[in-house]
Chains A and B, each alone.
Chain A
Amino acid sequence: MPIIPVNYYIFLAVALFAIGIVGVLTRRNAIIIFMCIELMLNAVNILLVAFSKMHHVAAYALDKTTTVGTEAQLFVFFIMVVAAAEVTVGLAIIVMLYRNIHSVDINFLNRLKH
């Protein structure tokens, strides 16, 4: 069986997270920024699943009936649950924003300063 170092998954997750950060910093469309936040959430999910499997492989070598690593996958499941709720409310806020200022450009949102 092939061995994939967990480093590769770390680098993939970090790269996806950095791309999400760059997207949040460069774009002005609120929906795109929201999508980049989703991208970062998914990068973290990959990392959690990879560490869960790493932990499980190490424990499985000693005990064939171990269920170590289940908690991390459940944690990813709960992250997805919270993300679904968060997307609903966030998109409702963006729709309300669009009704009020007729744009989703975040540069029009600096009026809290004045």
Chain B
Amino acid sequence: MHITEILFWMLTALALFSALMVVSSDNPVHSVLWLILVFIAITGHYILMNAQFLAIVNMIVYAGAIMVLFLFVIMFMNLNKESEPQKSVWLRLAAVVSGGSLLLILVAALKDNTGYINSMKGEGSIGLIKNLGKTLFTEYVVPFEISSILFLSAMVGAVVLGKKENSSPAA
């Protein structure tokens, strides 16, 4: 077994186990920490697929910024205890059955794909930042600039939503 395949299976096992722990752990802080492990495993998958720019962005944006935001909100609400009331057993069973059915149907529908990756030596410089940056700043420069407006509006929206109502002068 080649080392790439060993790494693939290890990262897959880590991702699936951590994802299950995200769903099943009672403490929200533990869920966030397991989700960070999922993102680290996904970053490993990106590196295996030679998508190095996406690996770095995934690590910084998801495992870094977004998860810190989640952790900050959980700490801010003081939810780091097992106080969540559970749904009834039948509802949870129905949820697991429907999720499993979705998994089964998607696997059955997609299992005949015959493509393969990671096959050629010296292949694959499309995931490097040179190629991606060149395409991003020539063909896709308009969506790139529009995304800055998206960020600005998201920031204004978050501030407006998060502001206390009684502290505004109009109220």
Mark A residues whose CB is within 8 Å of B: 1-12, 14-23, 25-29, 31-32, 34-36, 38-39, 42, 45-46, 49-54, 56-58, 60-61, 67-71, 73-74, 76-78, 80-89, 91-96, 98-99, 104-105, 107
Determine if B16 and A4 form an interchain contact, defined as CB atoms under 8 angstroms apart.
no
Q: Write the B49-87 contact mask toward A (1 if CB under 8 angstroms, else 0).
A: 111011001100110011001100110110100001111
- Shortest CB-to-CB span from B27 to chain A, Å, is 10
- Interface of A (DSSP majority class): helix
- Interface of B (DSSP majority class): helix
Residues of B within 8 A of A8 (CB): 8, 12
Determine if A88 and B116 form an interchain contact, defined as CB atoms under 8 angstroms apart.
no
Determine if B84 and A14 form an interchain contact, defined as CB atoms under 8 angstroms apart.
no
Extra inter-chain contacts (17) besides given A35-B22, A91-B70, CB under 8 Å: A1-B118, A3-B119, A7-B115, A27-B84, A28-B87, A39-B35, A39-B38, A42-B42, A49-B49, A54-B116, A57-B117, A61-B120, A77-B57, A88-B69, A89-B154, A96-B162, A105-B84
Determine if B106 and A1 form an interchain contact, defined as CB atoms under 8 angstroms apart.
no
Residues of A within 8 A of B147 (CB): 78, 81-82
